[in-house]
Structure 1
Amino acid sequence: MKNIKLLVVALLAVFTVSSCMDNNDVGPTGPTYEQEMKRRDSTLNAQKDDLEAYAKANFTNPKEDTTYGIWYEVINTPEKTYDYVKSGQGWVPVVAQLKYKGELMDKTVFDDEQTTTQFLIVNPSSTTGGVIPAWLIAFYPQSDNKSNIQGLLKDGLQPGQKIRFITSSIWGYDNATGIDKIPANSPLVFTLDVSSVKSQY
């Protein structure tokens, strides 16, 4: 994910914004928490019908995750061989080896890595890199703790598993500009083909 590796560090992920602001936070020039949530919800609502239409037209067995509005299909389901570990109000970060493809809704390919590549599956930061929120949602399991990421799959992505999903721009690059081939506010389509998952620690 050449674009994602290089540019995700510069993005202010919605997950990070949401978890770091409280109802009274106002940045020097930024929006309040309430304004940011209204903007997020407005974008999600505006893109909802397009995501559903795309999934139903292009996926064999589309399912909707109603927590995030992500549509997905599981292409293959291997036996469970990895247990994700909870840590406080989150997950112990994992390192994953995978092949992947990223597209826009008009089928424009913005990234296609068919050589197995390693990623640290964490929120973006200036010191560790990271991935967009949609990848966190795809990888980590569903949880009974509402403070954890509510993943798409009960056990999280497993080694040998392949999944395809379409996500709102909110869980992708949001309204960022200047990303090669990805206009601001673009829903994104990903195919992830996972070969291994292991704890970072």
Structure 2
Amino acid sequence: MMKKVNVLVLGALIAMGLSSCIKDGETYDPNAQYEIEKPLIEAYAQEYLDNPNYKEFQGMRIWFEIVQPGDPGSYQYKVDENSGNPLFVPAEAIVSYEGRLVKTNTEFESKDDQKFIISLSSIIPAWQIAFLPDKLRYNDEGGLLDEPIEFGGLTEVGLQAGSVIRIVTPSYWAYQNQSQGSAIPPNSPLYFEITVSEIKDYEANN
């Protein structure tokens, strides 16, 4: 029987933490907000993705397209089981990306060769879902786990060196109802194209 671990739920908790600054008297209903965004997201995916697919998480669809799968087996996503509860082992990736607002197709950011720590606390949940595999299969030493652990990523093996992916995410898996400066308004569904040039285990002293 496959192990299950609420790794994705941790991502949701991170997203919920982003909404902790709601002013008194205001409420945030993620399901109601998603119903507003859903037709916009689907229309955007159909127009801007050449081969649109989607995967549903907690009733909300992330649309995606694998442009390049990357080098097979160039990276193994790992968990550390020594603590008693499986912990995802962070990775380090060199990434180029472009981000756009779905509502206007306006680019809000574009960067090349940026270093990211791929962990459950350093990137938005939509990126966690894009990077990590559907199932985690390896321990922290690179050996196969006795039983795979469900995570729920978009792809079977996760993003690899050379991978290129496009995603269209509801605001819930991005920044929810919190603005990010003047570039990203509250309740913004987002589009990303992510190109991974390198990925390896993260070493805290590097």
TM range, smaller chain: 0.7 to 0.9
Alignment of 1:92-103 (within 5 A): 92-103=89-100
In the alignment, the residues of structure 2 paired with residue 92 and residue 30 of structure 1 have an alpha-carbon distance, to the nearest angstrom, of 37
Partner of 1:73: 65
Tell me, yes or no, if the aligned pair for 2:15 and 2:172 is still in contact at 8 Å: no
Farther-moved stretch of structure 1 (72-81 vs 43-52)? 43-52
What's the TM-score once normalised by structure 1's chain length?
Answer: 0.74
1:1-201 matches, within 5 Å, as 14-16=12-14, 39-67=29-57, 68-80=60-72, 81-87=74-80, 88-105=85-102, 106-114=104-112, 116-124=113-121, 130-143=122-135, 145-146=149-150, 148=151, 150-177=152-179, 179-201=181-203
> Counting helix residues as a fraction of each chain, which structure ranks higher?
1
Gaps of 5+ in 1: 1-12, 20-28, 125-129
Q: Which moved more, 1:85-94 or 1:72-81?
A: 85-94
List alignment gaps of at least 5 residues for structure 2: 1-10, 18-22, 136-147
Give the structure 1 partner of residue 141 of structure 2: none
Match of 1:4 in 2: none
> Contact conserved, 1:15 with 1:133, CA < 8 A, in 2?
no
CA root-mean-square deviation? 2.4
Decide which structure has greater strand share.
2
Distance in 2 separating the partners of 1:123 and 1:173? 15
Equivalent position amino acid for 1:108 in 2: T
Report the residue type matching 2:173 in the other structure: W
Is the contact between residue 157 and residue 194 of structure 1 (CA under 8 Å) also seen in structure 2? Answer: yes
Q: How many residues align?
A: 167
Give TM-score scaled by structure 2 length.
0.73
Deviates more, 1:76-85 or 1:187-196: 76-85
